[in-house]
Amino acid sequence: MKGLILVGGFGTRLRPLTLTMPKPLVEFGNKPMILHQIEALAAAGVTDIVLAVNYRPEIMVAALKEYEAKYGVSITFSVETEPLGTAGPLKLAENILKKDNSPFFVLNSDVTCEYPFAELIEFHNAHGGEGTIVATKVEEPSKYGVIVHRENSTQIDRFVEKPVEFVGNRINAGIYILNPSVIDLIELRPTSIEKETFPQLAAAGTLHSFDLEGYWMDVGQPKDFLAGSTLYLSALNKKSPELLSSGPFVHGGNVLVDPTANIHPEAKIGPNVVIGPNVTVGAGARLKHAVILKNATIEPHCFVNNSIIGWNSKVGKWARVENVSVLGDDVEVKDEIYCNGARVLPHKTIAGNVEKPEIIM
Amino acid sequence: MAKKALILVGGGTRGTRFRPLSLESPKVLFPVAGKPIVSHAIDAAATLPSVQEIVLVGFHPASTFNELIAQTKRQYPNIVIKYLQEYKPLGTAGGLYHFRDEILSGDPEAFFVIHADVCSSFPLEEIETFYKNVEADAVILATNVPKQTVVGNFGSIVVADDGSGKVVHYVEKPESALSTLVNAGVYLFNKSIFDTIAEAKKERSDQVSSGVSFDTDPDFLSLERDILSKLPHLSNTKFYAYVSKDFWRQIKTAGSALPANSLYLQKLDQSDSKSPGLLPRSSNIIPPVYADETAIIDPTAKLGPNVSIGKHVTIGKGARVRDSVILNGTEIKHDAVILNTIISDDCKIGSWARIEGSSDSTAASTSAASTGYMVGITDGVSVGSSSTGVSILASNVLVGDEVHIKNSVILNWKEIKSDVCNEVIM
């Protein structure tokens, strides 16, 4: 089988992290974002994966070579010379996606969930239509495009963009399985699969939706990245609790710690914290709702809440970092400093308080 | 005389103050008045009769300067030019000391050391003459700045009362304004400077090993902090200041590239208004305006003063550009207005968009005061303002039609569809 991952551009919404690391390689739950998807695709029997990108950084080429070998898949970069939207990249990768008659997966790279691909294939084959959209239920459907079904059926009747009255609460989760014939509906130009291709399939009665179990989140920006991490950790707690830390420093649960991290037993960590490789956390440090990336140093007695600490960064003693602060690569927050919603670009030193949310360039 | 000129190109601090313009290439390669900041210093050295070799010293990867060096070689076939890369950030004196054998090879009687990140007329010939006349061992280029700007910003120089220019005291970034005469970042040394650095280095490593100093790296030495302060007190070193009244600015923040652009353009215009690239005065051109020959400028667009336009830029009908730098490949559509702004490579600016750095903010009024030390240029010339009175667009930014951007900084690859004021868009 085949799969296409829509990676797109420079991930500017996730800056400052993506100033030094391509978005697909930013670690989510201690694993590059794209690796979650590659693993799930490989586990479902996918052997050909296409990455639809606007540019191809060398570091990503190297990382994906490694994954090719490890997961026995072939990974191809499909580089758009101009952004082609969400449907154009399918046409551009036609050679691979149409190489056999099996259906192919399409994933938005920002979306995280439990990727129930095996069930999805089964469902798709059973209904016999041209395409299946994975749907997730949301509390406020008025912000999204809502899926409306034919009565007592999984068959999609139409889409209602930002509905003012309640027509349902299932929305497009950004994950699809499509028959190769769908590509014939797409032209090679900037075009939207949601707005142009799917309405045609729905009108023809060959588009169905599949209800997603468990969590779903678009983690393309820092606030959602943190929220998504929390959802991921809760899911991990249900599925494989043995992967979570049970160290003396854990408080409130759902703490994922890389085995190479060095954490002082008198630190207090949790709930909902991810700690990456070679991270050091000192005595009396307090971390909650936080992601601490590789090689960061959390000095004693500091407080980090609802924030992302970038690779090789350092948070000083008695510092307080909170309110969706994001430190880029190699940032230093000096001792006793307060950071409220600071977005700090790589290689900066913060020696004065950041009292209100601000970009520190 | 000075056979060699060493140009300090930095790289150890990653130029964070020059962001966002230093996110994609180093500060010293940023073009003002049609050429990279560092090339203004290179040209000054290369055109000096005595200089045979130019050496760039810094911590940037070696490949950074390949193109610049190749181009400079073509321009000056009789000058040797190379780049020496520090193996770790060594500081301004540490870097020189590390490469001392290379610098002293060929036994130069004296050598210039020039900070690439200053905007100056680089009066090297005058410095050389002065050095000979006073029989100095070390000469520092000095310039006067307003008293209120000295504290914490500059290296302060106290000279003898006798008018000789002999330096009696030097302090880097003082806590009080000792003197309005400051270090302009250009020196002429002989080899005795290496003895002083060697001593300072020994002192430093003794302090580090005995635990007196908290600096962890004994190899890191700053010319300004660790060496110049010692020179006035050495009996065997004659240390003089050459005071210049020409224009001079530091290029620290990204916004400070704008006054540097204006000053270099004004200098060029005054010395040779027919210089290649300068557009002649007309009803729609207010000099100085520099434009690359590949730029396509609609005759109804009004440009200047103090505007630099890069390669393959297109400027549409009825557009207005003043006090701004527009880099390569950018497209400015018809009737757009660009004031006090830096626009990097490959941006697209929509019709009737207005992008400006304001001159009405308080930040601008303090910098208006600072034009007091811009001497040697026509009276009353405004050269834009400090970084806060400038808008900056990094590369590949798209600005929609009719959008207003004021006093803001936009990082690369962003699309701006609605008005932005006093913001950083990441």
pLDDT digits (tens, 9 = 90+) for B23-78: 888 999 999 999 999 999 999 999 999 999 999 999 999 899 999 999 999 999 99
B230 and B335 share a domain? no
Residue in A9, A15, A347 closest to B426 by CB? A15
Pairing of strands B138-144, B181-189: antiparallel
Q: What is the pLDDT of residue B385?
A: 34
pLDDT for B208 equals 77
pLDDT computed for residue B139 by the predictor: 96
- Say yes or no: B63 contacts chain A, CB-CB below 8 A: no
In the prediction, which pLDDT does B371 show?
A: 33
Q: What is the pLDDT of residue B176?
A: 84
Exposed / middle / buried, residue B136 (Cβ in 10 Å: 0-12, 13-18, 19+)? buried
Among the ranges given (A217-231, A253-267, B286-300, B369-383), the one the predictor scored with the smallest mean pLDDT: B369-383
B20 vs A: CB within 8 A: yes
Q: With pLDDT > 70 as the criterion, what percentage of chain B qualifies?
A: 92
CB-nearest to B413 from A10, A343, A361 is: A10
A vs B: CB pairs below 8 A: 26
* Residue B258 within any structural domain of the chain: no
Contact between A19 and B424 using a beta-carbon 8 Å cutoff: no
> Is residue A118 over pLDDT 50?
yes
- Encode pLDDT of A5-19 as tens digits: 999 888 899 999 999
Place A244 in a pLDDT band, splitting at 50, 70 and 90: very high
What structural domains and CATH numbers belong to chain A?
Answer: 2-218 (3.90.550.10), 222-360 (2.160.10.10)
pLDDT of residue B366: 35
B61/B202 same-domain check = yes
Residues of B in contact with A12 (CB under 8 A): 411, 413-414, 426
Rounded to 10°, the helix B37-46/B66-75 angle is: 30
B333 and B205 in a single domain? The answer is no
Say yes or no for a CB contact (<8 Å) between A345 and B19: yes
Q: Binning pLDDT at 50, 70 and 90, where does residue B388 land?
A: low
Q: In Å, how far is B401's CA from the nearest CA of chain A? A: 20
Indicate if B68 and B199 belong to the same structural domain: yes
Q: Is the pLDDT of residue B360 over 60?
A: no
Q: What is the pLDDT of residue A278?
A: 98
Chain A residues within 8 angstroms (CB to CB) of chain B = 9-10, 12, 15-16, 19, 343, 345, 347-348, 359, 361
Q: How far is A333 from chain B (nearest CA, A)?
A: 15
Q: B426 vs A12: CB contact, 8 Å cut-off?
A: yes
- Does the pLDDT value for residue A232 go beyond 60? yes
CB atoms within 10 A of CB B17: 18
Whole-angstrom distance, CA of residue B110 vs CA of residue B82? 18
Q: Which of A146-160, A326-340, B19-33, B368-382 has the lowest mean pLDDT?
A: B368-382
What is the distance in angstroms between the Cα of A168 and the nearest Cα belonging to chain B? 32
Are A127 and A230 within 8 A, CB to CB?
no
Domain match, B196 and B294 both: no
Q: Which of B16, B20, B413 sits opposite A9 (nearest CB)?
A: B413
State how far Cα B231 lies from the chain centre: 25
Mind listing the pLDDT tens digit for each residue in B209-243? 777 666 667 788 889 988 999 999 988 899 999 99
Three-state secondary structure call for residue A106: strand
Question: Mean pLDDT score of chain B, rounded to an integer?
Answer: 88
Whether residue B369 is predicted with pLDDT greater than 70 in this model: the reply is no
Yes or no: say if B290 and B261 are a contact pair by the CB < 8 Å rule: no
* Domain CATH code at residue B186: 3.90.550.10
Question: Which residues in B lie closer than 8 A to residue A343 (C-beta atoms)?
Answer: 426
| Partner-chain residue, chosen from B409, B413, B426, that has the shortest CB–CB distance to A16 | B426
Residue B16 near chain A (CB below 8 Å): yes
pLDDT at B359 over 90: no
Measured in angstroms, the CA of B397 and the nearest CA of chain A are apart by 12
Cβ within 8 Å of residue A19, ≥6 positions away: A328, A329, A345, A346, B23
Mean of all residue pLDDT scores within chain A: 93
In angstroms, what CA-CA distances link A193 with A6, A240, B251, B321, B328?
12, 35, 48, 41, 35
Assess if residue B85 is contained within a domain.
Answer: yes
CATH code of the domain in which B409 resides: 2.160.10.10
Are residues B238 and B137 located together in one domain of the fold?
yes
**Is residue B376 predicted with pLDDT exceeding 60?**
no
pLDDT band at B365 (very low <50, low <70, confident <90, very high): very low
Q: What is the pLDDT of residue B214?
A: 62
- B409 interfaces chain A, CB cutoff of 8 Å: yes
Residues of chain A contacting residue B20, judged by C-beta atoms under 8 Å apart = 361
- The whole-angstrom distance between B14's CA and the closest CA on chain A is 7
Whether residue B77 lies inside any domain: the answer is yes
In chain A, the residue whose alpha carbon lies closest to the alpha carbon of B23 is A19
Distance CA B182, CA B9 (A): 20
Nearest of A115, A104, A106, A105 to residue A28 by alpha carbon: A115
Q: Which residues in A lie closer than 8 A to residue B89 (C-beta atoms)?
A: none
Count of other CB atoms within 10 angstroms of residue B25? 16
**Closest partner CB to B413 (pick from A12, A16, A347):** A12
Q: Tell me whether residue B387 is in a domain.
A: yes
Residue bearing the bigger pLDDT, A106 or B24 = A106
Residue B328 corresponds to which tokens in the numbers above? Answer: 């390569």
* Nearest neighbour of B16 by CB, restricted to A9, A10, A347: A347
Same domain membership, residue B287 and residue B244: no
> Who contacts A81 (Cβ-Cβ below 8 Å, separation ≥6)?
none
Does residue B244 sit in the same domain as residue B164? yes
**Confidence at residue B212, expressed as pLDDT on a 0 to 100 scale:** 67
Q: Looking at the domain assignment, is residue B394 inside a domain?
A: yes
- State the nearest Cα–Cα gap between B195 and chain A, in angstroms: 34
For residue A221, the chain B residue with the least C-alpha distance is B426
User: In this complex, is the C-beta atom of B11 within 8 Å of any C-beta atom belonging to chain A?
Assistant: no
A80 to chain B nearest CA, in Å? 15
What is the chain B residue with the closest CA to A331? B16
Residue B217 covered by a domain: yes
Number of domains chain B contains? 2
The backbone torsions φ and ψ at residue A128, rounded to the nearest 5 degrees and listed phi first, read: 75, 5
Kindly tell me if the per-residue pLDDT of B372 is higher than 80.
Answer: no
pLDDT cut 90: percent of chain A above it: 79
What does the pLDDT average to over A321-337?
Answer: 95
- Domain range for B356 is 281-425
From the CA of A132, how many Å to the nearest CA of chain B?
32
Following DSSP, what letter does each residue of B373-388 receive, concatenated? Answer: G--SS-TT------GG
Residues B72 and B188 in one domain: yes
Closest residue of chain A to B412, computed from CA coordinates: A12
Query: Which of A15, A348, A359 shows the shortest C-beta gap to B16?
Result: A348
CA A338 to chain centre: 29
pLDDT computed for residue B384 by the predictor: 33
Task: Give the minimum alpha-carbon distance from A291 to chain B in angstroms, rounded to a whole number.
Answer: 20
Q: Is B424 on the interface with A (CB under 8 A)?
A: yes
Contacts of A347 in chain B (CB under 8 A): 14, 16
Same domain (yes/no): B299, B214:
no
Residue B417 inside a domain? The answer is yes
Higher pLDDT, A163 or A311: A311
The reply to whether B181 and B57 lie within a common domain is: yes
Q: How confident is the model at residue B378 (pLDDT cuts 50, 70, 90)?
A: very low
pLDDT in tens, A130-179: 999 999 998 888 888 899 988 888 988 888 888 888 888 899 999 999 99
Give B387 or B167, the one with higher predicted confidence: B167
For residue A328, the distance in angstroms to the closest alpha carbon of chain B comes to 12
- Residue B271 in domain: no
State residue A123's pLDDT score: 95
My answer on whether B80 and B130 are in the same domain is: yes
Chain A touched by B426 (CB under 8 Å): yes
- How many whole angstroms separate alpha carbon A286 and alpha carbon A273? 11
Q: CA B398, B401, B404 angle in degrees (round to 5)? A: 85
Collect all residues of chain B within an 8 Å Cβ-Cβ radius of residue A359.
424, 426
Q: What is the mean pLDDT of residues A250-263?
A: 96
Residues 6+ apart with CB under 8 A from B292: B34, B277, B309, B310, B311, B312, B313, B328
Q: Which two tokens stand for residue A107?
A: 């994933």
Interface test with A, best of B413, B415, B420 (most A CBs within 10 A): B413
- Asked if the C-beta of B192 comes within 8 angstroms of chain A's C-beta atoms, the answer is no
Task: Write the DSSP assignment of A209-272 as a string of letters.
Answer: EEEPPS-EEE-SSHHHHHHHHHHHHHHHHHH-GGGS---TTB-SS-EEE-TT-EE-TT-EE-SS
Look at residue A308 and tell me whether its pLDDT is greater than 80. yes
Mean pLDDT of B102-106: 92
Q: Helix/strand/coil (H, E, C) string of A181-215? A: HHHHHCCCCCECHHHHHHHHHHHCCCEEEEECCCC
The predicted structure's pLDDT at residue B387: 41
Higher pLDDT, B210 or B197: B197
B409, B412, B414 ranked by CB distance to A361: nearest: B409
Q: Is B19 in CB contact (< 8 Å) with chain A? A: yes
